[in-house]
Amino acid sequence: MSRSTTAWRNWGRTELAVPAQRFVPSHVGEVAELVRGAASDGRRIRPVGAGHSFSSIAVADDLHVDLRRLSGLLSADVDHGQVTLGAGTRLAEIPALISYYGLAMPNLGDIDAQTIAGAISTGTHGTGSRFGGLSTQVAAVQLTTGTGELITVSAADHADWLDAVRVGLGALGVITAVTLQCVPEFVLAADERPEPLERVLEEFESRCDGADHFEFYWFPHTRTALTKTNTRLPFGAQRAALPPLRRFVDDTLVSNELYRILCALQSRAPATTPTINRLAEKITGNRSFTDRSDHVFTTKRTVRFREMEYALPRGQVPTVLRRLQKLIKERDWRISFPIEVRSAAADPLWLSTAHDRLTGYIAVHRYWRDRDTEPYFDATEEIMLAHDGRPHWGKMHTLTADQLRTRYPRFDDFRAVRDQLDPQRVFANPYLDRVLGR
C-alpha cells in the first residue's frame, strides 16, 4: 500500500485539506487493516473518490483513503444483468467494461469523471421522471465497517441496511465493491433546442411525463430555456451521431474553451453578462442526434464552477424558478452560469434526495472565480427551503442535522445504522458532524 501526505483540493476549488496521511490500498485486506488500525489508535479515516463534490463531504482531515487501485470489473452475472465493479472505478470506464456483455447503466448524470462509490454515496442523479438516481441501480455493496469487518449488503445479506448504504455519505464504511443492476444496451435520440422559458415552465410537468429524459437550462437575463429531450431506443436503432468535428466544436470549443473565455470576461466585467448570456444561449443547444446512451447522457465540463442543487416536490419547480428569476432581477445581480432543471422518480433510499416523492431538481452555479457569490447561494437556499427542498449531499448547502431530520422521514433510522456500523465514528469529518450529528 502506498502512502503520502500532500494537499488535496476538490474539483470546484471550494475545499482544501492537508490530511495527516494518504493511503492507496491495493487490496481489500489492506482497507480492513487500515480501518482497524485507525479505530484502535482513535484516528479518523475518510474514503475519497474523484473529489467532484462541491461540499466538504469528502474532506479528510486525518487519514485519506484513495480507492483508485480497487477499480475495474470484478464479475458479471449476465443472466441477471448485474456487474460488480471495484469502488474506485470511474463512471467513464464503466460503459466499455460492461458493453462486452451487452449491458449499460440505465441512467447517468451530466459528467462521468466520478468514482462509482463516490457517486452513489452522495445520491448522484441524472434526469427522467421514471428513473431514479445512480444509487437506485445498486444491487449490492461490499464495505468495510468502522470495526474493520468486511460485509456485503444486498437483498440476501443484511437486507435491512441496503436502503441506508446505497446513499451512505461515506459514513457507514469504506466501500470496496459495488454491484449494479444494468439494462440491455440502448441508444438515445437527443433533441436539444431553445424554447420560450415561460412556456417550458407552464408545460414542465407534462414535458417530464411525456419524455424518457427531459431537462432544461435557463441562462439568467434571457427569456429562453435550452431544452434537452432524450428518447430511449433499442440498441439496433439507426444512429445519427454528431460528426466528430461538430461534436468537437460544440462540446469542446464552444461549451468549454469559448465558454471559459466568456466566463472570465463576465467575472471581470459583470455588466457584460446579459449580452454574453444572450450570445451563449444562441450558440449552444440547437441540434438533434442519436447515439450510444453514455455518449448522450454525459458531456465534458472543463470550466470550473461552484454549485448548489436542491430537490423539490416536482410540482414546485415552476414556482421556485420564477422566484429565482424575480430574485436575480430585484437584486440586480449578474449571473453568468445557467440554472439547470431536472427530475427523478421517487425512490425508497433513506437519504436519497428523491426519497418517497416525485422530484424536480434546480441547480444554481457560479463561475469559480466569481467574487461575492454567497448572497446568491444564501438567497437561493432560503427559497428552496421554503418549498420543502432537500440539498444534494455533494453540493453546497448550509443545513444541519436538526434541519435535515425534518426533511427525511428515515433520518434517525440512518443514524441508528451508523451507530451499528461505525460506533466509534472512525469515518466522521466536520461535514458529517454537521449533517448527521456526532
Ligand X SMILES: Cc1cc2nc3c(=O)[nH]c(=O)nc-3n(C[C@H](O)[C@H](O)[C@H](O)COP(=O)(O)OP(=O)(O)OC[C@H]3O[C@@H](n4cnc5c(N)ncnc54)[C@H](O)[C@@H]3O)c2cc1C
Which residues would be at the binding site for ligand X (CB under 6 A)? 11-12, 46-53, 57-58, 67, 87, 109-111, 114-115, 117-119, 121-122, 124-125, 169-170, 174-175, 301, 392, 394
Nearer to ligand X, 35 or 335 (CB): 35
Nearest one of 64, 332, 297, 291 to 174, comparing CA atoms:
64
Nearer to ligand X, 149 or 202 (CB): 149
Using the Cα atoms of residue 315, residue 317, residue 318 and residue 324 in order, give the sign of their dihedral: positive
Q: What are the cell numbers at 401? A: 442535522
Nearer to ligand X, 52 or 207 (CB): 52
Would you say 312 and 95 are in contact if contact means Cβ atoms under 8 Å apart? Answer: no
Cell 440554472 identifies what position? 339
Nearer to ligand X, 58 or 308 (CB): 58
Q: What are the cell numbers at 434? A: 454537521
Min dist. Cβ of residue 204 to ligand X (A): 19
Nearer to ligand X, 53 or 316 (CB): 53
Q: For residues 194 and 216, what is the distance between their CA atoms, to the nearest angstrom?
A: 9
Nearer to ligand X, 51 or 95 (CB): 51
CA angle, 148 then 114 then 346, to 5° = 85
Would you say 187 and 231 are in contact if contact means Cβ atoms under 8 Å apart? Answer: no
- In the chain, the amino acid numbered 315 is G
Min dist. Cβ of residue 354 to ligand X (A): 11
Min dist. Cβ of residue 175 to ligand X (A): 3
For residue 398, give Cα distances in angstroms to 170, 221, 224, 315, 378: 19, 27, 31, 24, 9
Min dist. Cβ of residue 53 to ligand X (A): 3
Q: What are the cell numbers at 372? A: 461575492
Nearer to ligand X, 19 or 394 (CB): 394
Nearest one of 426, 433, 435 to 146, comparing CA atoms:
426
Compute the 3-state secondary structure of the chain and give helix, strand, coil in percent, each to the nearest 5: 35, 25, 35
CA angle, 172 then 31 then 410, to 5° = 5
Would you say 35 and 47 are in contact if contact means Cβ atoms under 8 Å apart? Answer: no
Nearer to ligand X, 49 or 285 (CB): 49
Q: What are the cell numbers at 201? A: 415552465
Nearest one of 145, 111, 121, 133 to 49, comparing CA atoms:
121
Min dist. Cβ of residue 36 to ligand X (A): 16
Nearer to ligand X, 32 or 169 (CB): 169
Min dist. Cβ of residue 302 to ligand X (A): 9
Min dist. Cβ of residue 271 to ligand X (A): 27
Min dist. Cβ of residue 50 to ligand X (A): 3
Min dist. Cβ of residue 60 to ligand X (A): 8
Would you say 52 and 114 are in contact if contact means Cβ atoms under 8 Å apart? Answer: yes
Task: Determine if residue 246 is left, alpha or beta; phi over 0 gives left, psi from -120 to 50 gives alpha, anything else beta.
Answer: alpha
